[in-house]
Amino acid sequence: MAPQDALSDALSADMAAVNALIRARMASEHAPRIPEVTAHLVEAGGKRLRPLLTLAAARMLGYGGQDHVKLAATVEFIHTATLLHDDVVDESQRRRGRPTANLLWDNKSSVLVGDYLFARSFQLMVETGSLRVLDILANASATIAEGEVLQLTAAQDLKTDEAIYLQVIRGKTAALFAAATEVGGVIAGADERHVTALRDYGDALGIAFQIVDDMLDYGGSATVIGKNTGDDFRERKLTLPLIKAVARATAEERSFWTRVIEKGDQQEGDLAQAMAILARHDAISACRLDALGWAAKAKAAVNSLPEHPLRDILSRLADFVVSRVA
Amino acid sequence: MAPQDALSDALSADMAAVNALIRARMASEHAPRIPEVTAHLVEAGGKRLRPLLTLAAARMLGYGGQDHVKLAATVEFIHTATLLHDDVVDESQRRRGRPTANLLWDNKSSVLVGDYLFARSFQLMVETGSLRVLDILANASATIAEGEVLQLTAAQDLKTDEAIYLQVIRGKTAALFAAATEVGGVIAGADERHVTALRDYGDALGIAFQIVDDMLDYGGSATVIGKNTGDDFRERKLTLPLIKAVARATAEERSFWTRVIEKGDQQEGDLAQAMAILARHDAISACRLDALGWAAKAKAAVNSLPEHPLRDILSRLADFVVSRVA
């Protein structure tokens, strides 16, 4: 069984409570547009990976209360809010196999319903009464937003290096993974070293996950990733495969990258040409090594925690994330 | 001296600290787009009314600490974030006499920098360590976002009544005014009845303020309100003057409103016609009575607080807000 499914199974009662809470809190007595837009996205059957991470972290550290359900719903609301805003920013047309909310309704609704979900997540976390949890999620929110702006300004800029890329994907993915696992440990009252290990696990897992996603954009199949190969290329995003290829570029290749990425002058055959250059410099293989390195870090972190069946699933999850490109 | 200027004078040292904090916290080491966009708006010389309300509330209730500065900056960040998102939603071109950020940069930057400022405000309020303050601001954030969505769906709908209008303007204006004054009292450790009076003052002041703004859109001059008469009419917004006129409409007037507001089929001379109908039903006078009623509520609330020079300025402020249409 895939580790995500194993997590879902092991945490099914908790997850049912999370889903009930999400449905209750996305309601709005006065503005029916809010639950319409939210339900469109929430019920499209996302993997619910982030709330599962929070629940797993809390349970494996022995938590017996119910506040982890609030935190798991919080994390999913933050994730949903960022997806709504991302789709506006990226002018996306499809998400989770459906037309995006900005397409079905309008950009206005996506912006404002995203704001509403962020406010709702904020109310939920305040209800836990833990200032430390609030501090973690406030910092994660700032990292997410800063990473998104950084991605916007780094796009089309060939000077974007691996350090900037790491900041972007921490904002885009890893910050919320790390906060999701960390708050699970905090609410469970875990030892500091265990809280740190949980945060490190989420951070490394998120980074591995995003590197793999960015690799698949230059070689995965549409069925695996649910989007078309070459999207990042067409949107002129400086993701890791491209950054590595640019760093190793010959003079001739450099003018190719300048034309297609910086100037955006893309012609028939340019994607194939880009992938040939990536192959010539082993850029994808280099990305794979990085992803495997982060997955190993994630496993080392989670394996430093006390023995628990959930711990073993989380460890397998780190392998699974990189198995898509292994 | 206008009461806002009197507030600025009386609180100039505190306000200097707020401005320094705003500048420090809008910085971003990695994404220079963030301070660029924020500075464009923050340094356009807004009135800083909301942070002044927080500072005044805290000081008049005897607060001697420095956390009110953090809360004042929090409130201004939330306000700035909502302005950035509002301008995207309304496709605005000018704000505070300058081109809007969505026009100078793009919608993407406005959405993401707004998210960043909201996250920064969240970090600032967590630093005060007051769960009650966090609860108030989380609830205000949800009311603001819900009101914005409600405004979106209520626009162009002639069924919008005064109750819905009140919810919209509580979200748009009064919720943040009320939170601004309430958190000032909470951080000062004021008695419950004083905290309630402060919240009631902010709520009523905000409602009066927004009713006046909506009245001016059907009769103020461009220099007073910084935007052109008739904007709400052209955007087919159901504000109070229109709601009152629709409620009293003859059959013939009703088909006029259906054409220009619901169908959006506006022709030369329709604004003048709309204003003539408003005059025929004394709609503006009825709005004025409502605004005066809310200003009186605000004064009654603030005058129930202990005597203080700042209290008298806040009381004068309630009169001043409605003096634009007196």
CB A326 within 8 A of CB A10: no
Tokens 């994330």 belong to A321
Q: In which band, very low, low, confident or very high, does the pLDDT at B87 lie, cut at 50, 70 and 90?
A: confident
What is residue A88's predicted lDDT score, i.e. its pLDDT?
A: 83
What residue in B sits closest to A122 (Cα-Cα)? B138
Percentage above 70 pLDDT, chain A:
95
Taking any CB pair shorter than 8 Å as contact, residues of chain A touching chain B are 28, 30-34, 82, 85, 88-89, 107-109, 111-113, 115-116, 118-120, 122-123, 126, 129, 131, 134-135, 138-139, 141-142, 144-146, 148-150, 152-153, 164, 167
CB < 8 Å to B135, chain A? 123, 126
Q: Is the pTM of this model over 0.80?
A: yes
What is residue B226's predicted lDDT score, i.e. its pLDDT?
A: 41
Domain CATH number, residue B245: 1.10.600.10
How far, in whole angstroms, is CA A211 from its chain's centroid?
Answer: 11
A11-44 tens-digit pLDDT: 999 999 999 999 899 888 777 888 887 777 777 6
Judged by CB atoms closer than 8 Å, whether chains meet at A115 and B120 is answered as no
Which long-range contacts does A305-312 make (Cβ < 8 Å, 24+ apart)? A305/A60, A305/A61, A305/A194, A305/A197, A305/A198, A306/A60, A306/A61, A306/A194, A308/A60, A309/A10, A310/A7, A310/A10, A310/A11, A310/A56, A310/A59, A310/A60, A311/A60
Size of interface A-B (CB pairs under 8 A): 140
Distance in angstroms (rounded) separating the CA atoms of residues B153 and B290? 24
Comparing A87-96, B247-256, B301-310, which segment has the lowest mean pLDDT?
Answer: A87-96
Give B305→chain A minimum CA distance, Å.
29
Percentage above 90 pLDDT, chain A:
73
Distance in angstroms (rounded) separating the CA atoms of residues B94 and B76? 19
Residue B15 makes CB contacts below 8 A (sequence gap 6+) with B8, B48, B51, B52, B55, B72
Whether the per-residue pLDDT at A94 is higher than 80: the answer is no
Residue of higher predicted confidence among B153 and B53: B53
Residue B313 belongs to domain spanning:
3-323
Per-state percent for chain B, helix, strand, coil, to nearest 5? 75, 0, 25
CB A157 within 8 A of CB A262: yes
* Closest CB from B28, B122, B144 relative to A146: B28
B99-130 tens-digit pLDDT: 777 777 778 888 998 999 999 999 999 999 99
Judged by CB atoms closer than 8 Å, whether chains meet at A149 and B113 is answered as yes
Residue of higher predicted confidence among B235 and A254: A254
* Closest CB from B89, B123, B153 relative to A138: B123
Best-predicted range by mean pLDDT (A85-89, A300-304, B113-117): A300-304
Report the domain count for chain B: 1
How confident is the prediction for chain B on average, in pLDDT?
A: 90
Comparing B44-53, B65-74, B214-223, which segment has the lowest mean pLDDT?
Answer: B214-223
* Closest CB from B89, B119, B142 relative to A145: B119
What is residue A74's predicted lDDT score, i.e. its pLDDT?
A: 97
CB < 8 Å to A120, chain B? 142
* Closest CB from B31, B129, B167 relative to A149: B31
What residue in B sits closest to A29 (Cα-Cα)? B146
Judged by CB atoms closer than 8 Å, whether chains meet at B31 and A120 is answered as no
CB B177 within 8 A of CB A59: no
What is residue B27's predicted lDDT score, i.e. its pLDDT?
A: 83
Tell which residue, B178, B103, B187, has the closest CA to residue B139.
B178
What residue in A sits closest to B109 (Cα-Cα)? A149
Whether the per-residue pLDDT at B33 is higher than 90: the answer is no
Give B324→chain A minimum CA distance, Å.
31
Whether the per-residue pLDDT at B221 is higher than 50: the answer is no
Q: What tokens appear for A227 in the block?
A: 């989007």
CB A58 within 8 A of CB A186: no
CB A241 within 8 A of CB A289: no
Residue of higher predicted confidence among A325 and B247: B247
What is residue A223's predicted lDDT score, i.e. its pLDDT?
A: 39
CB A125 within 8 A of CB A137: yes
Distance in angstroms (rounded) separating the CA atoms of residues B248 and B200? 31
The size of chain A, in residues, is: 326
What residue in B sits closest to A132 (Cα-Cα)? B126
What is residue B38's predicted lDDT score, i.e. its pLDDT?
A: 77
Judged by CB atoms closer than 8 Å, whether chains meet at A126 and B131 is answered as yes
What is residue B225's predicted lDDT score, i.e. its pLDDT?
A: 41
Whether the per-residue pLDDT at B224 is higher than 90: the answer is no
Q: For A105-134, what is the mean pLDDT?
A: 92
What is residue B188's predicted lDDT score, i.e. its pLDDT?
A: 98
Q: Could you tell me the end-to-end alpha-carbon distance of chain B, in angstroms, rounded to an integer? A: 18
A121-146 tens-digit pLDDT: 999 999 999 999 999 999 999 999 99
What is residue A224's predicted lDDT score, i.e. its pLDDT?
A: 44
Within 13 Å and on the Cβ side, how many CA atoms surround A192? Answer: 0
A163-217 tens-digit pLDDT: 999 999 999 999 999 999 999 999 999 999 999 999 999 999 999 999 999 999 8
Q: For B288-301, what is the mean pLDDT?
A: 97
* Closest CB from A33, A119, A131 relative to B153: A33
Q: For B60-80, what is the mean pLDDT?
A: 96
CB < 8 Å to A89, chain B? 107-108, 111-112
Please report, to the nearest 10 degrees, the dihedral formed by the alpha carbons of residues A288, A294, A297, A299 taken in order: -70
